[in-house]
Amino acid sequence: MKKILTIIGARPQFIKASVVSKAILETEGLSEVLVHTGQHFDTNMSDIFFEQLNIPRPHYQLDINGGSHGEMTGRMLVEIEKALLKEKPDCVMVYGDTNSTLAGALAAAKLHIPVAHVEAGLRSFNMQMPEEVNRILTDRVSNTLFCPTQAAVANLEKEGYPFVMANGQKQRIEKVGDVMQDSAELFATRAVAPKDFNLQDGFVLTTIHRAENTDQSERLQNILEALHEIAAHTPVVLPIHPRTRNRIAQLKLNTERLTLIDPVGYLEMLWLLTHCGLVVTDSGGVQKEAFFFGKACVTMRDQTEWVELIEAGANELVGAQKDTIIDAIKRNLGREVKDTEKLYGGGTAAKRVAELLKTIP
């Protein structure tokens, strides 16, 4: 029986774990220990996902949140190492690009425990983003690289992967598809409207949380002014991240036309994606979720990891210029997109990951 110790800590990782943990449970020869770092810790950002998605309750709840990137990552390293020494897993699995991801990968690598990275090979090519630093370093110390797309595989190959690891074996690069699509398909039929939500279909669904936007006052002001202008004729719904809410209050920015709602659970988010007319976001995961539900997306960033969505015409990258955002929203509102080429594997990624975990030396 191979023991997999999985590190999660943030909303996108809960969603991914919902299907991969299920696949592990259904795969003979595998068991899982779940460690929740606590990076997302309040009810709407954490607890609700475990309840809605039937994720097993974590064996370890580290409650590490707040502080600088370095402080948070360092505290996680200390506590994750303790769990690894106690559990002695055959493999540590990490997801995505958060501080939890990097801390889990480093703790395992220093103890010579094989690391499997789900969503390996993604690149924004912007080293100002903490997520880019996290994903690059995690890939380098991972033994198994689970890539969601061919573009991710190509990124690794351009960087010289696979490398020879400390055990003398080369890294494995496996294109498995995107487990986010598995989740979207599994839970779409259970989607529910947010409490007291009464807008008609066709609204603009917006998320804003990236540090590159929230920490730069000019960018955040431009984004909100653009959304405010759109909201004069089309409702703009913004499930508001706590950090974004605080920054808006600090800068005294105008949101009176926007429909601000508390962070929502995954099932509510799926409902919003189903009923909106357009997605406007700076999130990585939400770009894909829009695609899974056939909605066009406008991404308020200067780069994106999901280049295949740009190439397919499903997503438009607009940065944070007010007029550019407004023009893109008007051009894309109500436009449907189709997944004709199964860009993300068609909903079989989690089973593929579980089967490959069985073969880890």
What is the C-alpha to C-alpha distance for residues 275 and 295, in angstroms, rounded to an integer? 10
Contact 39, 99 (CB under 8 A): yes
Tell me which residue of 115, 113, 123, 176 sits closest to 148, measured CA to CA.
Answer: 176
**Span(s) in the chain for CATH 3.40.50.2000:** 2-178+345-357, 191-332
The CA distance from 130 to 102, in Å, is: 11
CA 264 to chain centre: 15
Would you state the pLDDT for residue 327? 98
Looking at the domain 191-332, which fold is it?
Answer: Rossmann fold (3.40.50)
Q: Using CB atoms within 10 Å of the CB of residue 269, give its burial: 0 to 12 exposed, 13 to 18 middle, 19+ buried.
A: buried
Q: How many CA atoms lie within 13 A of 23 on its CB side?
A: 21
Task: Look up the CATH architecture of domain 2-178+345-357.
Answer: 3-Layer(aba) Sandwich (3.40)
pTM of the model: 0.89
Q: Which pLDDT value is given to residue 65?
A: 86
> Is 209 among the catalytic positions?
yes
Residue identified by tokens 């064996």 is: 59
Contact status, residue 25 vs residue 51, Cβ threshold 8 Å: no
CA angle, 328 then 332 then 333, to 5°: 115
Q: Give, for 131, the enclosing helix (H) or strand (E).
A: helix 130-141
Structure-token pair, residue 190: 């259970």
pLDDT score for 217: 96
**Which residue among 36, 40, 117, 209 is the active-site one?**
209
* DSSP letter string, 143-182: SEEEESSHHHHHHHHHTTPSPB-TTSPBPEEEE---HHHH
Mean pLDDT, consecutive 10-residue segments, the chain of 361 residues? Answer: 95 91 96 91 62 87 90 96 98 96 98 98 93 97 97 97 94 97 94 95 96 94 98 97 90 96 93 98 95 97 94 97 98 94 93 96 84
Confidence at residue 242, expressed as pLDDT on a 0 to 100 scale: 84
Integer Cα distance of 34 and 37 in angstroms:
10
Q: Is the dihedral of CA 294, 295, 301, 302 positive or negative?
A: positive
Cα–Cα dist 16/100, whole Å: 14
